[in-house]
Structure 1
Amino acid sequence: MSARGFLKAVAIVLNLGVVLAINQCPTSETYYTGPLNGAKWGICQNTDVTGNILAQFSGLRNVGDCAWRCDNDIRCTQAVWVPGGGNCYLKDASTNGNWVASNGGYSVIHQVDNLDRCPATAGNYPGPKNGANWSICQGTDANGNILAQFSGLGNVGDCAWRCDYDDRCTRAVWVPGGGKCYLKDGSATWTSTTGGYSVVHVSSPLDRCPNKETTYKTADGATWAICPGSDVTGNNLAQYGGLSSAQDCASRCNDNGKCLRAVFVANGGNCYLKDHAAHGTWTNAPYTTVRYISANPATQGQWSALVPLPVIPAALYAVPAYPDSARLLFFSSASPTIFGGGGQTIYADYNYRTGEVSQRTVSNTQHDMFCPGMSQLGDGRIVVTGGDNAEITSIYDPATNGWTRGPNMKISRGYQSQTTLSNGRIFTIGGSWSGGNGRKNGEVYDPSTNVWTLLEGASVSNMLTADKSGSYRADNHAWLYGWKNGSVFQAGPSVKQNWYTTTNGGSVQQAGTRNSEDQMCGISVMFDNGKILSAGGSPNYDDNDSTTAAYVTTISNVSQAVKNDQVSNMNYPRIFANGVVLPDGTVHVTGGQTHGKGFADDNGVLSSELFNPKSNSWTIMARESVARNYHSASVLLADARVWSGGGGLCYNGGDCRPGSDHPNGQIWSPPYLFNSDGSAATRPVISSVSSTVLRVGSSFTVQMGDRDDYTFSLIRLGSATHSVNTDQRRISVSGTKNANFWSITLPNDSGVMIPGSWYVFAMSGNGVPSWAKTVRVTN
Structure 2
Amino acid sequence: MVWHESWTRGTTMRRRVALACMAVATLVAIVCVERAAAQSNVTGQWSVLPYTMPINPIHVGLMRTGKILIVSGTQNDPTVTTNSAAVYDPNTGVIDVQEVPWDLFCNGLSWMPDGRALIAGGTLQYPVNGHGWGGLKTTTVFDPATEKFIQVQDMARGRWYPSIVGLADGRMATFSGWLEQGGTNNAVEIYTNPNGWSQEYYAPFTPELYPWLHLLPDGRVFMSGANVGSSIFNPSTNTWQTGVATMKYSRDRIYGSSVLLPLSAADNWRPRVMIMGGDNPSTATAEIIDLSQPSPAWRFTNPMSGPRIQMDAVILPTGKILALGGSQLDKTASTATLAADLFDPATETWTPAGTMNMPRLYHSVALLLPDGTVWSAGGNPDWGNWENRMEIYRPAYLFNAGGGPATRPTISAAPSVIGYGGSFQVSTPNAASIASVALIRNGANTHAFDMDQRMISLSFTKGAGTLTITAPPNANIAPPGHYMLFIVDANGGMPTVPSAPTAGSSRAARRPPARRPRPAT
| TM range, smaller chain | 0.7 to 0.9
User: Aligned pair 1:380/2:115, yes or no?
Assistant: yes
Aligned-partner SS, 1:752: coil
What is the aligned partner in structure 2 of residue 98 from structure 1?
Answer: none
What is the aligned partner in structure 1 of residue 327 from structure 2?
Answer: 593
**1:493 aligned to which of 226, 240, 243:** 226
Alpha-carbon distance between aligned partners in 1 of 2:277 and 2:85, rounded to the nearest angstrom: 30
Offset at 1:295? 3.7
Compared with structure 1, are the counterparts of its residues 396 and 700 closer, same or farther at alpha carbon in structure 2 (3 Å cutoff)? same
Offset at 1:388? 0.8
Compared with structure 1, are the counterparts of its residues 777 and 344 closer, same or farther at alpha carbon in structure 2 (3 Å cutoff)? farther
Offset at 1:460? 4.0
Contact 2:120 2:174 in 1 (8 A): no
Aligned-partner SS, 1:686: coil
Offset at 1:342? 8.4
Alpha-carbon distance between aligned partners in 1 of 2:78 and 2:169, rounded to the nearest angstrom: 35
What is the aligned partner in structure 2 of residue 113 from structure 1?
Answer: none
What is the aligned partner in structure 2 of residue 582 from structure 1?
Answer: 316
What is the aligned partner in structure 2 of residue 481 from structure 1?
Answer: 214
**Map of 1:53-202 to 2, 5 A cutoff?**
none
User: Aligned pair 1:774/2:517, yes or no?
Assistant: no
Alpha-carbon distance between aligned partners in 2 of 1:641 and 1:586, rounded to the nearest angstrom: 13
Higher relative contact order (Cα pairs below 8 Å, separated by 6+ residues): 2
Between stretches 370-379 and 352-361, larger displacement belongs to 352-361
Alpha-carbon distance between aligned partners in 2 of 1:343 and 1:435, rounded to the nearest angstrom: 21
Letter in 2 for 1:347: A
User: Aligned pair 1:459/2:201, yes or no?
Assistant: no
**1:644 aligned to which of 358, 361, 376:** 376
**1:441 aligned to which of 187, 203, 209:** 187
Offset at 1:387? 1.9
Contact 2:47 2:357 in 1 (8 A): no
Aligned-partner SS, 2:326: coil
User: Aligned pair 1:670/2:395, yes or no?
Assistant: yes
Letter in 1 for 2:483: W
Alpha-carbon distance between aligned partners in 2 of 1:573 and 1:433, rounded to the nearest angstrom: 31
Offset at 1:763? 0.5
Runs of 4+ in 1 over 6 A off after TM superposition: none
Letter in 2 for 1:377: M
Letter in 1 for 2:120: T
Offset at 1:698? 3.2
Deviations 1:152-184 (A, max 9, x none): xxxxxxxxxxxxx99xxxxxxxxxxxxxxxxxx
Alpha-carbon distance between aligned partners in 2 of 1:433 and 1:666, rounded to the nearest angstrom: 35
**1:627 aligned to which of 325, 335, 359:** 359
**1:721 aligned to which of 446, 470, 474:** 446
User: Aligned pair 1:699/2:423, yes or no?
Assistant: yes
Offset at 1:742? 1.1
User: Aligned pair 1:359/2:91, yes or no?
Assistant: no
Compared with structure 1, are the counterparts of its residues 754 and 505 closer, same or farther at alpha carbon in structure 2 (3 Å cutoff)? closer
What root-mean-square deviation, in Å, do the aligned CA atoms of Structure 1 and Structure 2 show? 2.4
Deviations 1:133-170 (A, max 9, x none): xxxxxxxxxxxxxxxxxxxxxxxxxxxxxxxx99xxxx
What is the aligned partner in structure 1 of residue 290 from structure 2?
Answer: 554
Offset at 1:501? 1.5
Aligned-partner SS, 1:579: strand
Q: Which runs of 5+ in 1 are unaligned?
A: 1-164, 167-290, 465-474, 539-543, 653-659
**1:310 aligned to which of 54, 60, 71:** 54
Letter in 2 for 1:332: S
User: Aligned pair 1:301/2:44, yes or no?
Assistant: yes
Offset at 1:357? 2.5
Contact 1:332 1:649 in 2 (8 A): no
Aligned sequence identity (%): 29
Contact 2:361 2:381 in 1 (8 A): no
Contact 2:440 2:455 in 1 (8 A): yes
Compared with structure 1, are the counterparts of its residues 563 and 772 closer, same or farther at alpha carbon in structure 2 (3 Å cutoff)? farther
Relative to the length of structure 1, the TM-score reads 0.56
Offset at 1:684? 0.7
Compared with structure 1, are the counterparts of its residues 405 and 439 closer, same or farther at alpha carbon in structure 2 (3 Å cutoff)? closer
Deviations 1:67-98 (A, max 9, x none): xxxxxxxxxxxxxxxxxxxxxxxxxxxxxxxx
**Map of 1:182-331 to 2, 5 A cutoff?**
293-306=36-49, 307-321=51-65, 326-331=66-71
What is the aligned partner in structure 1 of residue 482 from structure 2?
Answer: 757
Deviations 1:648-693 (A, max 9, x none): 17436xxxxxxx521231110000111122111100111121x212
Aligned-partner SS, 1:305: strand
Letter in 2 for 1:629: L
Offset at 1:532? 1.6
Offset at 1:707? 4.0
Letter in 1 for 2:122: G
Alpha-carbon distance between aligned partners in 1 of 2:77 and 2:213, rounded to the nearest angstrom: 26
Compared with structure 1, are the counterparts of its residues 620 and 357 closer, same or farther at alpha carbon in structure 2 (3 Å cutoff)? same
Alpha-carbon distance between aligned partners in 1 of 2:85 and 2:149, rounded to the nearest angstrom: 12
Contact 1:312 1:664 in 2 (8 A): no
Q: Greater Rg, structure 1 or structure 2?
A: 1
Offset at 1:620? 2.2
Offset at 1:448? 4.1
Aligned-partner SS, 1:577: strand
Q: Which runs of 5+ in 2 are unaligned?
A: 1-9, 12-33, 125-135, 264-270, 506-521
Compared with structure 1, are the counterparts of its residues 374 and 553 closer, same or farther at alpha carbon in structure 2 (3 Å cutoff)? same
**2:145 aligned to which of 399, 404, 408:** 399
Alpha-carbon distance between aligned partners in 2 of 1:439 and 1:416, rounded to the nearest angstrom: 9
Aligned-partner SS, 1:602: helix
Aligned-partner SS, 2:397: helix
Contact 1:684 1:768 in 2 (8 A): yes
Deviations 1:5-55 (A, max 9, x none): xxxxxxxxxxxxxxxxxxxxxxxxxxxxxxxxxxxxxxxxxxxxxxxxxxx
Contact 2:86 2:95 in 1 (8 A): yes
Offset at 1:647? 0.6
Aligned-partner SS, 1:576: strand
Aligned-partner SS, 2:41: helix
Alpha-carbon distance between aligned partners in 2 of 1:331 and 1:623, rounded to the nearest angstrom: 27
Relative to the length of structure 2, the TM-score reads 0.82
Alpha-carbon distance between aligned partners in 1 of 2:504 and 2:223, rounded to the nearest angstrom: 24
Deviations 1:476-501 (A, max 9, x none): 12110123464211111111111112
Alpha-carbon distance between aligned partners in 2 of 1:736 and 1:292, rounded to the nearest angstrom: 41
Compared with structure 1, are the counterparts of its residues 706 and 501 closer, same or farther at alpha carbon in structure 2 (3 Å cutoff)? closer
Name the count of aligned residue pairs: 453
What is the aligned partner in structure 1 of residue 276 from structure 2?
Answer: 535
Offset at 1:706? 3.6
Between stretches 397-406 and 758-767, larger displacement belongs to 397-406
